[in-house]
Structure 1
Amino acid sequence: MRITEAIEQYTRHLADVRRLSAATVRAYRSDLTDMTAVVGDIPLAEVDLEGLREWLWAATKRGDARATLARRTAAARGFFAWATEYGHLATDPSLRLVAPKRGRTLPRVATAEAVGGVLDDLRTRADEGDPRDLRDAAVLELLYGAGLRVSELCGVDLGDIDRGAATVRVLGKGSKERVVPFGLPAARALDAYLVRGRPALAARAEKPDPAAVFLGLRGARLGPRAVYDLVAREIAPLVGAETVGPHTLRHSAATHLLDGGADLRAVQEMLGHASLGTTQIYTHVSGERLAAAYRLAHPRA
């Protein structure tokens, strides 16, 4: 079996058996295709460690970021581990393939006061009854209040919200379902939108989506692009950056939870992180903010 054929089988395995998202499968295929550009479409059994190292070295010379190199290394190791497990290879040539060390990039967050100010301002505008403002207020309140990913928020159906328990059921990465709580401001914004905003948006459309919670102006399910535009418009000035997306609210929610004394594992469960190590980056954010406050305020700093 040649590499390209094996890649096709592996990506089908990722989609059909591991049930990874289409975007994740495309990313794996892209990284492995990049590998074949260097090692060639040779028989799978002829791939060796030297060829894989040459591939990473070529990517380094090309100027690929360390994060990209680390991701491609992980993709190769996953691919060859699969090939070995399923009997396509006798030994795994990637076992000693080492990823370059990744630099830790701390997530960009806004202060709780700044986020609160934006949400309060949007709620005031929504009180005037415009259905788009009612929707936007509910979107931002739920993104921040439940720490959702944008894909999770856009996928929420009417039956996923338990207004009595103030929880929302979402489908996260790897098709893993979880139930996430949200607070009183998000509950109020959702109630206002569902009672006054969503019916008005649905009435404007010829065939509104009957299941989706959040509708676009034409009645279809609200898409990630529209949510990105909303967050960029409302949140970007808070963090002093032009490229701000929904993840900024997710990062901010996690950091503010830890600042308030939340248990790290509870935050992990709320965010739907598979690994506690992913959640721990927010402890570094909180630590840096504590250190900055110390340097500014302590007489012996």
Structure 2
Amino acid sequence: MARAVTSQRKAINTAIAWTIGFLIFFPILWTILTSFKTEGTAIADPPVFLFFDWTLENYAVVQERSNYMRFLWNSVIIAGGSTLLGVIVAVPAAWAMAFVPSRRTKDILLWMLSTKMLPAVGVLYPIYLICIELGVLDNRAALVIILMLINLPIIVWMLYTYFREIPGEILEAARMDGASLRNEILYVLTPMAIPGIASTVLLNFILAWNEAFWTLNLTAVDAAPLTAFIASYSSPEGLFFAKLSAASTMAIAPILILGWFSQKQLVRGLTFGAVK
């Protein structure tokens, strides 16, 4: 029998959850608020939280100084392209690991995941030289491939977890009905794993969108995404906190909106198979 939860305990748990959520979200909230301050108010001591003269001047300056839409379009292409390419590569790989028995599957998965533990700076130099040699430095297609390879272990691991929750008998029945391997993956496996695939796509799109190390080191002008857009407001003359916050708010706004509207799908995908 499930234990009854008292109203008092439920209220305490709710208060704790809201407190933790607020603490996690507070840096983003502070950035958004700072973007509406003057530079003097932004560096005031003690800090001013809500009661200040709100202004849109920082956003106007950022728009005049930078081509925001070009940076935004580069971010969409790089994040979306790397995620889509990663899913195309990862679905067959995760299918093979989930439904083709092998004693080495777990070892392979752990090895793939271990590559994420390597500091990115450790492979920056060779990748930088390869990009120069191939003439693809500051190129969106090159960044799409690089970010896809970086996030591929996570994509494969997540899809493998979701595919393992699908009964193998369903795929066997499709084979008995004459389905080819391609049709089995496209028309039987993929539709059944849509929640898991959707959450994988969302998470990896966010990871690619927020990637700063590779985008800052492998781009200059043509392929520079929003991470470079933010970094451009750190200058030798000093940090302009209000304008930097405005640029940061403009950069994170699309992904915040995407996360807000897709939160149900994201939660559904992350709990896919958790309840029998």
The verdict on a shared fold, with TM-score over 0.5 as the criterion, is no
TM-score of the pair, normalised by structure 2: 0.29
TM-score normalized by the length of structure 1: 0.27
Structure with more helix by fraction: 2
